[in-house]
Homo-oligomer: A and B are copies of this chain.
Amino acid sequence: MVQKKPTEERREEIITAALDLVEQKGLDNVNIANIAAAINLVPSAIYRHFTGKEAIIDSLIDFVNKALQDNVSYTLRTETHALARLKLLLDRHVQLFKEQRAIPRILFTLLSSDKESVLKKKMLTVIACYLDKVGFIIDQGRKNGEIENIDASAGALLFLGMVQPLAIMAQFEDNAIDQYPEKLWNIYLHGIYRSKDE
């Protein structure tokens, strides 16, 4: 018999193990047996801590959401100018992807799942929320003249457009995630930047 641990601790372990496994096999190929084995438990033990698989994935979404929101908070706290904020947020986002490669896979899987899925709707909400925050930063930059008079939500969408294809590229070449962000940012910046002389 394995050591017994309080449910809070186990939940952490399960989530962590699940993230690891998602990174390796993709969300669809992760099953209760895998997760249990990864932390030396028996499948049925998982049900002491989660009501089922859905609840685990639900927690994974919470994890993603928290990571994204933390990045936003950090960015707002650290920088004051809109462009600096966007650049920092991009860097943090890329860094996050590097450390937690499970994140884009969770995202992709849920986005491609059944329309009516509760989990998908939740994931969409998380993204919408993130886009809102980015759009807010852009709006701020527009008001103080740092940024061109662009549509804020389109700017936010294209911001996402920098990081999403990165997640794809990272699957070809490992170094893509190191080389591209700077290049993408240059184009993006040029796209939204308001030259002083105009």
Contacts and interface: CB of A to CB of B under 8 A. Distances in A.
25 contacts: A25-B115, A27-B112, A28-B109, A28-B113, A104-B112, A105-B111, A108-B108, A108-B109, A109-B112, A112-B112, A124-B171, A148-B190, A150-B186, A150-B187, A154-B180, A154-B183, A157-B180, A158-B158, A158-B165, A161-B161, A161-B184, A187-B188, A187-B192, A188-B191, A190-B190
Interface residues of A, number: 49
Contacts of A186: 150, 154
Given A105-B112, A124-B171, A155 B28 contact: no
A23 to B, nearest CB: 9
B161 A165 contact: yes
Copies in the complex: 2
Interface string A108-121: 11011111000000
A28 B154 CA distance: 30
A166 interface: yes
A29 interface: yes
